[in-house]
Amino acid sequence: MVAKKQTEVRVRYAPSPTGYFHIGAARTTLFNLLFARQHQGTFILRIEDTDKERSKKEYEAEIIASMRWLGLDYDEGPLLPDQNGATTLLAKADKGDFGPYRQTDRLDLYETHLKKLLSEKKAYYCFCSQEELEAQRQSMTAQGMSAIYNGTCRSVPTNEAAARLAGGATAVIRIKVPSVKLAFKDLIRGDVEFDGALMGDLVIAKSLREPLYNFAVVIDDEAMKISHVIRGEEHIANTPKQMVIAEALNITLPLFAHLPLILNTDRSKMSKRDGERSVAVRDYRGAGYLPEAIINFLVLLGWHPEGDEEVFTFEQLVGKFDLPRVQKAGAVFNIEKLDWFNAYYIKKKSDSELLDLLVPDFIDPAWAGDSGKLLKVIALIKERLKKLSEFKSLAALFFTVPGYPKELLVWKKSTAAAALEIFTGIHTILEALPEVEFQKSRLEAAVMPLCEVKGRGDVLWPLRVAVSGSQASPGPFEIIDALGKTETLRRLEVAISKLK
């Protein structure tokens, strides 16, 4: 296969809108965009929606929304139709409202190329029924042969085919596949070779207005001047089919780079309809993962930088990423590693930035009115957050009086009577403290003298339980700082009531 000779790098992500944008698609998009940015090239989004039955507009919209949430936006596309219905191409340097390319807007182009192949007798109409094809398959399998189309309709004369079509016969369009070796050089895997004799004549369209994937993609890549196709390993089998189509149309294909599979922890292939876990990017967004964490995690699924560094901004990745360091072997999706990245990026956020991310999806609506208290709570539990979705459960103790057994208020070998005495003393101290002094340092200064008399454990343990309802929580003075005077005294009175 002859490589394209052009200086401009132009790459594309070309999804079928038949499902939600998934983790594997996100990695493919990321690698394409990084490659484009490295070479000051162009990244294109092309929606391959010729599958009318399965393609959905809501999936297309979700794909674009998820890409943009991750910061993986495309550079070029047609302007959305104006009031007269006209569209024009909008390059990335221009401004305006433009959408992705869609194959359903390009059917005239595909029809022209199909007619060309038919007129040159490089393609033909196949009238074989599904029953006939299945009988052929079984017969060839029984003889130990490859189950490929045997070329029955290759010899149907053009005028006879036209007459049968005019009479309402059903037919697909097949391209003639030569019995030759088909070889290409993959930028990741090196030399790859296929035997055309084992392929059979390929179906390239259901009709002149219904092209199939491998045919349309060759036409589009040529028309859009795509220089490199960076896609998943599962597409390797499509490459020889596209080579046959390109040769018949006298088209030079782009360079290919096939990314390794993403694997589950048991090293089975992760599917976009995987049962082990959700693989839709929108579900990770809904669980409270940050886009920068997902990007940092995804780039390491199959690519390794020089050295041991793992944390990168997108801008740093543009400088470091290179295709030769992409591995051939599958990459294991480790959710614990993703959680680690997410926790890291959560800690790097300021409290106010986290508040903006948490509201409204990750907090109880009843808490939304007290941003000052929320900021204090965020500061206290930020270090414990792996996902934004954990905030509500970790923060609940600051907004709702938790239930707990009275026995939890008693420290080790102390007694309920001793604990009651301590609570009475703490209540007196805090009641006398002005609201403005309900800050961690002032609270410590007010209560610690009692610890010196009664013992730290005897004072701080029951105080922590009373204000948090738990034996595992932030320190009592941090909690009281966030609760404020009125709520703290109320919780102390609940503890006193329990002990009485």
With vertex at residue 255, the alpha carbon angle to CA 245 and CA 309, rounded to the nearest 5 degrees, is 145
List 116, 176, 272, 337, catalytic entry: 272
Cis before 360? omega within 30: yes
As a whole number of angstroms, the distance between CA 171 and CA 164 comes to 9
Rounded to the nearest angstrom, the gap between the alpha carbon of residue 454 and the centroid of all alpha carbons in its chain is 55
Cα distances (angstroms) measured from residue 401 to each of 70, 422, 483, 488: 38, 20, 11, 10
Spatial neighbors of 86 by CB under 8 A, at least 6 apart, are none
As a whole number of angstroms, the distance between CA 136 and CA 152 comes to 10
Bridge partners, residue 173, by sequence: 125, 205
Residue with tokens 């390009």: 106
As a whole number of angstroms, the distance between CA 447 and CA 349 comes to 32
Are the C-beta atoms of residues 12 and 45 closer than 8 Å to each other? yes
As a whole number of angstroms, the distance between CA 241 and CA 195 comes to 11
Q: Dump the DSSP string for 211-278.
A: E-HHHHHHHHHHHTT--EEEEEGGGTTHHHHHHHHHHHHT----EEEEEPPEE-TTSPBPPTT-SSS-
As a whole number of angstroms, the distance between CA 439 and CA 344 comes to 28
Q: Known catalytic residue: 272?
A: yes
Bridge partners, residue 172, by sequence: 126
Residue with tokens 């302007």: 79
As a whole number of angstroms, the distance between CA 288 and CA 292 comes to 12
As a whole number of angstroms, the distance between CA 285 and CA 68 comes to 12
The maximal CA–CA distance of the chain, rounded, in angstroms, is: 108
> With 0-12 CB in 10 A as exposed, 13-18 as middle and 19+ as buried, what is 357?
middle
Going by C-alpha positions, the residue among 169, 163, 176, 164 that lies closest to residue 203 is: 176
As a whole number of angstroms, the distance between CA 269 and CA 232 comes to 12
DSSP class of 5:
-
Spatial neighbors of 395 by CB under 8 A, at least 6 apart, are 363, 367, 374, 377, 381
With vertex at residue 255, the alpha carbon angle to CA 280 and CA 9, rounded to the nearest 5 degrees, is 80
Provide the annotated active-site residues: 272
